[in-house]
Structure 1
């Protein structure tokens, strides 16, 4: 077989393998913005999602966040606008609750099958306000994300509903809408 034909055959078999395993040809990328009580704020970067054989690889390229650990989750609705929650106007509350299609009703983190599917591994922000460390969400795939929102919370996440509900991450500080391709 000629070298050109070998390259073409190799590319075709790789594409067929990717299609048969369900992995997307192109990673999904969304923009994230500061979440404010008045709506969408300034852009803070983007997040890329890519299916792998081990789950969903999530790669942030974010800036202007408070250093430290942050909880972040896939939320049920594709809306980052403010909404009234408990009588107060709340940033990104229109995104709704953590994505929980199986109605588990518990916040147990990304590795526990009895919790919300939208629970993600922690987002780590460096001292310079940038987040670039990839994480792996083993129970998710890119197809689960369409028509949802990605929300970053003010504080860390203890992957529990105790002592505070939903991991205790606090206010929603950033949000991005995930649209179907």
Structure 2
């Protein structure tokens, strides 16, 4: 690489996101007619320890909920077996390494989209951040969906597939802005 290129990137703010950069994802109810009412946002930022997901959400059922990155940037409902599946267009859990199994967010041989579960307070709010230690770059998440499931997540495929999270209750599309400023 030419020695002046890194300087040009630094001067013009071009290139990859840096530690501390943040993306905000609007989370909407997942319904049979497509995205519904807004429930709030989840900010995602890079840190030295992985990506940090900080929810500012209201209107969810109290308890523990599965939280995942899904393959497609689409929160629309789709028909599966003659039944509409809310946020089904987001596809399955993001698994770029073809691990083929659901697991803990720190396991190397599990879906990369497996995140720590969210704890929703008795009033339906959630604000506790979670850390995804294997996810390092915001750009990896561009054009993916962020999903909250109805049930808890045991981070295993047993006794139920995909941690037992069940129905999709909230979905948001992740868009990571890129700079298009000329050099």
What TM-score, normalized to structure 2? 0.85
Equivalence map 1:1-181=2 (5 Å): 23-24=18-19, 26-141=21-136, 142-181=138-177
Distance 1:136 1:101 in 2: 19
**What is the CA-CA distance between 1:143 and the residue it aligns to?**
1.7
**What is the CA-CA distance between 1:24 and the residue it aligns to?**
4.4
Which structure: larger Rg? 1
CA deviations on 1:4-34 (whole Å, 9 max, x unpaired) are xxxxxxxxxxx89xx9x96245311110000
Q: How many residues align?
A: 165
Report the secondary structure of 2:30's partner residue: strand
Report the secondary structure of 2:56's partner residue: strand
Which blocks of at least 5 consecutive residues in structure 1 are unaligned? 1-14
Runs of 4+ off more than 6 Å: none
CA deviations on 1:62-120 (whole Å, 9 max, x unpaired) are 00000010001000000000012233210000000000001111001201110000000
Report the secondary structure of 2:52's partner residue: strand
Distance 1:160 1:89 in 2: 26
Which blocks of at least 5 consecutive residues in structure 2 are unaligned? 1-9, 178-183
Distance 1:158 1:86 in 2: 26
Distance 2:157 2:98 in 1: 15
Say which structure is richer in helix: 1
What TM-score, normalized to structure 1? 0.86
Report the secondary structure of 1:151's partner residue: strand
The question of whether the paired residues in 1 share the 8 Å contact of 2:70 and 2:94 is answered with yes
